[in-house]
A and B are shown apart, each in its own frame.
Chain A
Amino acid sequence: MSHFDWGSGAIVKPEEPKKKKNVQIIPAQTDLKKRAVNFVNGFDINLSPEQLEELEQVVQRSSETFVRDVGKDLMDCRRLVIQALGDKSKRPDAVTACSDLAYSVKALGGTFQYPLMTQIAKSMENFVADRTTANEKQLLVSQLHIDSLYVILAGRVTGFGSTVEQATVAALTKLAERYEQPRE
Chain B
Amino acid sequence: MNAKIDFRKISFLIVDGDKISAQVVYDTLAYLGASHIQRVKTPNDAFEILRREKIDIVVCEWRLRGMDGLEFLDVMRNSTNSPNRFIPVIMLTAHSEHKYVTTARDLGITEFLAKPFNAKALYSRLVSVIARPRRFINTGTYFGPDRRRRQVQFDGPDRRSLDE
Binding site for B on A (CB under 8 A): 18, 20-30, 32-33, 35-47, 52, 54-56, 58-59, 61-62, 65-66, 69-70, 103-104, 106-112, 115, 118
Most B C-beta atoms less than 10 A away, residue of A52, A58, A106: A58
Q: Which of A20, A32, A41 has the most CB of B within 10 A?
A: A32
Inter-chain contact count A-B, CB under 8 Å?
A: 161
A111 touches B4 (CB 8 A): no
Q: How far is the CA of A174 from the CA of B155 in the complex (A)?
A: 54
Question: Could you tell me the distance in whole angstroms from the C-beta of B24 to the nearest C-beta in chain A?
Answer: 5
B20 CB contacts on chain A under 8 angstroms: 62, 65-66, 69-70, 104, 108
- Residue A43 contacts which of B4, B21, B116, B129 (CB distance < 8 angstroms)? B4
A107 touching B130 by the CB < 8 A rule? no
Known: A20-B161, A45-B3, A111-B24. A56 touches B118 (CB 8 A): yes
Is A36 within 8 A of B28, CB to CB?
Answer: no
Q: Is there an interface contact between A23 and B137, defined as CB atoms closer than 8 Å?
A: yes
* Cα-based distance from A41 to B9 in the complex (angstroms): 11
Give the secondary structure class of B's interface.
mixed
The interface bits of chain B over 112-144 (1 if a CB of A lies within 8 angstroms of the residue's CB, else 0) are 000111111011000101110111111110000
Residues of B within 8 A of A32 (CB): 10, 56-57, 88, 129-130, 133
Q: Given A41-B6, A45-B3, 18 other A-B contacts at CB below 8 A?
A: A22-B139, A25-B135, A26-B135, A29-B136, A32-B10, A32-B130, A39-B3, A40-B4, A41-B4, A42-B33, A44-B3, A45-B2, A45-B5, A52-B119, A55-B120, A107-B115, A108-B21, A118-B116
Name B116's contact: one of A18, A35, A41, A108 (CB within 8 Å).
Answer: A108
Interfacial chain B residues near A54, Cβ < 8 Å: 31
Q: Which residues from chain B contact A55 at a C-beta distance below 8 Å?
A: 28, 31-32, 119-120, 123
- A69 to B116: give the CA distance in the assembly, Å: 17
A155 and B121 CA atoms in complex are apart in Å by 28
Classify chain B: how many residues form its interface, as a range.
35 or more
Instruction: Give the 4 A-B CB pairs with smallest separation, nearest first.
Output: A110-B116, A107-B94, A42-B6, A107-B115
A21 proximity list for chain B (CB < 8 A): 139, 160-161, 163-164
Cβ–Cβ < 8 Å partners of B140 in chain A: 22
CA distance A146 to B66 in the complex (A): 26
Asked if B52 is at the interface (CB within 8 A of a chain A CB), the reply is: no
Q: In whole Å, how far is B14's beta carbon from the nearest beta carbon of chain A?
A: 14
What are 18 A-B pairs with beta-carbon distances under 8 A? Answer: A18-B161, A23-B160, A26-B135, A29-B136, A37-B3, A37-B5, A38-B6, A52-B120, A55-B32, A56-B120, A58-B31, A59-B119, A106-B116, A107-B94, A107-B116, A108-B24, A111-B115, A111-B116
